[in-house]
């Protein structure tokens, strides 16, 4: 029972933040659903922001992992393709929980230190896809390939397609942007 309350707070908070938005969800709501007073939350988490930080911790570790891998590889087309596929895998795995929450609240959390850390890592991955002396158009295109995975996730929610179709379409568009196969 000890660490149970903390985990339940995280679970309820993640769900409500995703459904209603971060700012629109009050600590009183979270506490009520758990059957405690909101002051009890302050024993487990220093602030409301601190709950978000705890939720994002795992994803940041994942990002560090993929960044370390990327930096250990030669900067070839195969590496970039492999990176994109690995990144897509990560996104799909976490999409139903944290990913969804982050997508829907990225503006509210723009200045949140932990979210800033996540965005910094995402941009680092994007930058690592190119060499520093690549033309800016190419660097930007490769960044957009990465971001297309995020956007594909969001955009495909608007369409009536299966998860499998979404996987396929997101990946193929992202890969297509990545390498500019038609020449430049």
Partner DNA sequence: GTCTATACAGCGATAGAC
Partner DNA sequence: GTCTATCGCTGTATAGAC
Backbone angles phi, psi at 99, to 5 degrees: -55, -45
The entry of its own copies, DNA, none that residue 182 binds, CB within 5 to 8 Å by partner kind: its own copies
- Tokens standing for residue 11: 């679970």
The entry of DNA, its own copies, none that residue 167 binds, CB within 5 to 8 Å by partner kind: none
Q: CB nearer to its own copies: give 7 or 23.
A: 23
In whole angstroms, how close is the CB of 168 to DNA at the nearest point?
39
Q: Are the C-beta atoms of residues 58 and 64 closer than 8 Å to each other?
A: no
The entry of DNA, its own copies, none that residue 2 binds, CB within 5 to 8 Å by partner kind: DNA
The binding site for DNA (CB under 7 A) comprises 2-3, 5, 25-29, 31, 36-40, 42-44, 46-49
In whole angstroms, how close is the CB of 43 to DNA at the nearest point?
3
Q: Are the C-beta atoms of residues 129 and 151 closer than 8 Å to each other?
A: no
Helices (H), 95-162: 100-105, 113-128, 136-156
Q: Are the C-beta atoms of residues 45 and 54 closer than 8 Å to each other?
A: yes
The binding site for its own copies (CB under 8 A) comprises 21, 23, 104-108, 110-111, 123, 136-137, 139-141, 143-144, 147-148, 151-152, 155-156, 158-159, 161, 165, 168-169, 172-173, 176-177, 180-182
Axis-axis angle for helices 136-156, 163-179 (nearest 10) = 170
Q: CB nearer to DNA: give 115 or 125.
A: 115
- CB within 8 A of 134, min separation 6: which ones? none
């Amino acid at each position: 029972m000890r660490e149970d309350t903390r985990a339940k707070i995280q679970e309820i908070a993640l769900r409500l933040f995703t459904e209603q938005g971060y700012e629109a969800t009050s600590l009183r709501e979270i506490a009520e659903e758990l059957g405690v007073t909101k002051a009890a939350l302050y024993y487990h988490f220093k602030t409301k922001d601190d709950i978000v930080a705890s939720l994002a911790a795992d994803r940041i570790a994942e990002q560090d992992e993929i960044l370390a891998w990327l930096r250990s590889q030669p900067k070839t087309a195969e590496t970039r393709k492999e990176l994109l596929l690995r990144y897509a895998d990560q996104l799909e795995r976490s999409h139903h929980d944290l990913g969804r929450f982050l997508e829907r609240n990225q503006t509210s959390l723009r200045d949140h230190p932990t979210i800033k850390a996540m965005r910094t890592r995402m941009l680092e991955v994007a930058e690592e896809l190119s060499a520093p002396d690549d033309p800016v158009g190419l660097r930007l295109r490769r960044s957009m390939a990465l971001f297309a995975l995020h956007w594909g996730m969001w955009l495909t929610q608007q369409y009536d397609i299966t998860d499998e179709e979404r996987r396929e379409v997101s990946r193929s568009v992202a890969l297509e942007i990545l390498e500019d196969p038609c020449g430049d």
